[in-house]
Structure 1
Amino acid sequence: MKKSIIACTLFLFNITAYAQFTNLPSGDNKRATVSEGIGITQVSINYSRPGVKHREGHIWGEVVHKGFANLGFGSSKAAPWRAGANENTTITFSTDVKVNGQSLPAGTYGFFVAYDPDESTLIFSKNASSWGSFYYDPNEDALRVKVKPVANDKSVEWLKYEFTDETPSSATIALEWEKLIFSFKVDVDLVNTQIASFRKELRGSSGFIWQTWNTAASFCEQNNTNLQEALLWADTATSISTGGSQSFQAWSTKAGILDSLGRNQEAMAVMKKALPFGNVNELYYYARSLAHLKKGKEAFEIFKMDYDKHPDEFLTNAGMARGYSALGDYKKALVYAQKSLLQAPDLPNKTRLENMVKTLQDGKDINL
């Protein structure tokens, strides 16, 4: 009796110790993680990679059972494939997404496949912590999508997930093993996810400096969206409390939002307030934008202001060349362009100025 108690104790000790070790993955299946950003959305897949291991032609419909099956273990009597090996495959979306056009909230999901050669079912389950699919419960499904497996022109030995066909707002995720590919498309709402992130982060430590408020406001201005809230963000960016009351960038962002709202006179007044705070580069590029919009007189005034503050410098001489060119006075513009050429700090700028000089000598506007 005493020996039995000792043996049982040792057995339990060995199980406990074994469970605490970091061991090689069961069946020599490789552990893997693949992750990629789509906009500000992070998509991560954790899985184990089974190998074909000389079982060509016996994977689909055999190693991977068709549809739903009773695996003989666990509570599920109709389990899909675990879409990998060992622990169940999980996929995490840091924001809300659309999968093949269907909405899926942010979160971590168990990922399963009910294989069928004609039309397979991809399952995103709210249960992401169970082992394999032995405890699969359809009541925990968050989303199901139908896909047709596609034949691969080459055999993939170790199962893998890949991101393909990337765009700024989408990517296709492909499960590849042996000679089949299962793909689904993930789309994100770039603008709304970014704005939602701004709202959240501006309530934290990021909200104590003008730069973050300006970044959020500028994003809305550039995308012509959420302008009323963006104007409030711009007000905060230009406030004394955040340190942006003398920031050219913050004031010019506010002016741009007002202009987008059709409040043009207010925008002009705000822009005039911004000008004294502009550095040599900010004034130069603001004037260039005016010249590009064929506002020659306004552009010249800013180029001249920049030159008066920083006389006879490379950039301000180039600015005066552009200013006079915007007024149609190519002769005076040429004088300043040649002066700027002599001051060019590097080869790219020298080449750019040489082209400007040639354009002016040909009697053409350099602001086109």
Structure 2
Amino acid sequence: MKQAIAVVMVLMLSGTVFSQELSELATPPNGDNERAEVAQWIGPVKISIEYHSPRVHNPSTNDRTGHIWGELVHYGFFDEGLGPTRGAPWRAGANESTSITVSNDVKVEGKYLKAGKYALFLDVEKNGPWTWVFSNHIGWGSYQYDPKYDVLRVPVTAQDVPFTEFLTYGFDDRQPGGALAYLQWEKKRIPFKIEVANVNDLYVAKMRQDLESWGGFRNEDWQTAAQFCADNKINLEEALTWADKAIRGPFRGATLGQENFTNLQTKAAVLAAMGRQSEADVVMQKALHLPGNDPGLVYAYGMSLLGAKNTAKAMEVFLLNQRQHPEEKYWTSLGLARGYTATADKKNAIANWEIVLHNVPPTFSNRTPAFEAALKKLKESS
């Protein structure tokens, strides 16, 4: 009889606790713990965290400030009294287990984590480091937690921060190859660093895949992929074939390969990255002498040379741009103004800055104050 009563009590408890989670009806969350999700891309890698967000000022228990850590959230592994009789870490949220999904392999605090979806737990300690636990077993809360399903544990340092009412996950310190994920609640912030070691390789793999689909129908996409490889000095042999495809590719209709300035410049950049500078110079000379070049593109190339401290070659490009476009006064004069300034030829620099200021297109009018300042500086130092 006692056993039957115990079974009934468990079933009643299960119905009360889990009914809202298992129901397909749109009902309010259990305990006012709103469902939440946050996602962050690190390059082509997506990381998302799903959780339920309790608040410090619970409607039924009022202000819990100062009673979260070590009280509501127990220190260490704690036996909830439901499920297997073993200690478990905190679910790092409320209601269902908090989960984290990574689309590609990553490193968490320097440790390898395969792509997939994991339950995310937190071992909270009164003294010493706190520990994030990544588990293959996603259940309801921590009740069915079993350490045999742990795939990763990483110790971190909890930080003291200003008050936060709602338990919140987020990402900051975002870099091209990493970000800092964190949980913040009450007056604590618990971070963990996520890194993608080979982010550029992943970009290349995605580009390769895209070029085999709709992306492969436009010469511009082949050029973009090749330029990415040149800029990052990776995958250069294949990048050279991509650059050639942009120039001579057998595309359809208006999307034929184009032997234009941009595509040739990209091929030259790939060759230079491969250490084949003499070949790169030949290709670039061909690009510079194409009929109908955009003076803005030629100016940009000259500025890249100036930025690389190749002032003499930059001046050659700026002078060529002026000869090729005698009627154009903005880009050609701007290049010469920059070049003569770099060579300390103040007289010619001032003359060209004055031409620039009389020919600024409306779309670039916001640059006028900077141009005026450059001219003023030259005149004052003359």
Q: TM-score, normalised by structure 2?
A: 0.77
User: Cα distance, 1:274 vs. partner?
Assistant: 2.1
User: Cα distance, 1:122 vs. partner?
Assistant: 1.2
1:303 and 2:319 matched = yes
Aligned-residue RMSD, C-alpha: 3.4
1:134 and 2:147 matched = no
Who is 2:301 aligned against? 286
Q: After the TM superposition, which residues 352-363 of structure 1 pair with which residues of structure 2 at under 5 Å, given as runs?
A: 352-354=370-372
How many residue pairs get aligned? The number is 348
Give the secondary-structure state (helix, strand or coil) at the position aligned to 1:251.
helix
Q: Gaps spanning 5+ residues in structure 2: where? A: 1-14
Who is 1:174 aligned against? 182
1:260 and 2:270 matched = no
User: Cα distance, 1:87 vs. partner?
Assistant: 1.3
Task: Indicate which of 257, 264, 287 corresponds to 1:244.
Answer: 257
How many angstroms apart in 2 are the aligned matches of 1:200 and 1:235? 18
How many angstroms apart in 1 are the aligned matches of 2:184 and 2:343? 62
* Alpha-carbon distance change, 37 to 310 in structure 1, aligned in 2, over 3 angstroms: farther
1:269 and 2:282 matched = yes
Residues 221, 227 of structure 1: 8 Å contact kept = yes
Who is 1:86 aligned against? 95
Task: Indicate which of 152, 157, 161 corresponds to 2:165.
Answer: 157
User: Cα distance, 1:256 vs. partner?
Assistant: 1.1
Who is 1:143 aligned against? 152
Residues 229, 236 of structure 2: 8 Å contact kept = yes
* Alpha-carbon distance change, 267 to 26 in structure 1, aligned in 2, over 3 angstroms: same
Residues 76, 134 of structure 1: 8 Å contact kept = no
Further displaced range: 301-310 or 98-107? 301-310
| One-letter amino acid matched to 1:250 | N
How many angstroms apart in 2 are the aligned matches of 1:158 and 1:349? 45
User: Cα distance, 1:241 vs. partner?
Assistant: 2.4
How many angstroms apart in 1 are the aligned matches of 2:342 and 2:184? 58
Who is 2:3 aligned against? none
Give the secondary-structure state (helix, strand or coil) at the position aligned to 1:198.
helix
CA deviation vs aligned residue, 1:279-333 (integer Å, no higher than 9, x gap):
1211122233345544536743563345434524332344455667788876566
Q: TM-score, normalised by structure 1?
A: 0.80
Give the secondary-structure state (helix, strand or coil) at the position aligned to 1:46.
strand
Residues 303, 323 of structure 1: 8 Å contact kept = no
Residues 314, 339 of structure 2: 8 Å contact kept = no
Q: Gaps spanning 5+ residues in structure 1: where? A: 1-11
Q: After the TM superposition, which residues 1-368 of structure 1 pair with which residues of structure 2 at under 5 Å, given as runs?
A: 19-52=23-56, 53=58, 54-74=63-83, 77-118=86-127, 119-128=129-138, 130-150=139-159, 152-189=160-197, 190-242=199-251, 243-275=256-288, 276=290, 278-291=293-306, 293-296=309-312, 299-300=315-316, 303-305=319-321, 307-309=323-325, 311-319=327-335, 335-346=351-362, 347-354=365-372
User: Cα distance, 1:90 vs. partner?
Assistant: 1.1
Further displaced range: 278-287 or 242-251? 242-251
* Alpha-carbon distance change, 137 to 250 in structure 1, aligned in 2, over 3 angstroms: farther
| One-letter amino acid matched to 2:38 | V
* Alpha-carbon distance change, 73 to 352 in structure 1, aligned in 2, over 3 angstroms: closer
| One-letter amino acid matched to 1:300 | E
| One-letter amino acid matched to 1:303 | L
User: Cα distance, 1:89 vs. partner?
Assistant: 0.7
Residues 313, 340 of structure 1: 8 Å contact kept = yes
Give the secondary-structure state (helix, strand or coil) at the position aligned to 1:20.
coil
* Alpha-carbon distance change, 289 to 28 in structure 1, aligned in 2, over 3 angstroms: closer
* Alpha-carbon distance change, 21 to 173 in structure 1, aligned in 2, over 3 angstroms: same
How many angstroms apart in 2 are the aligned matches of 1:312 and 1:183? 55
User: Cα distance, 1:350 vs. partner?
Assistant: 4.2
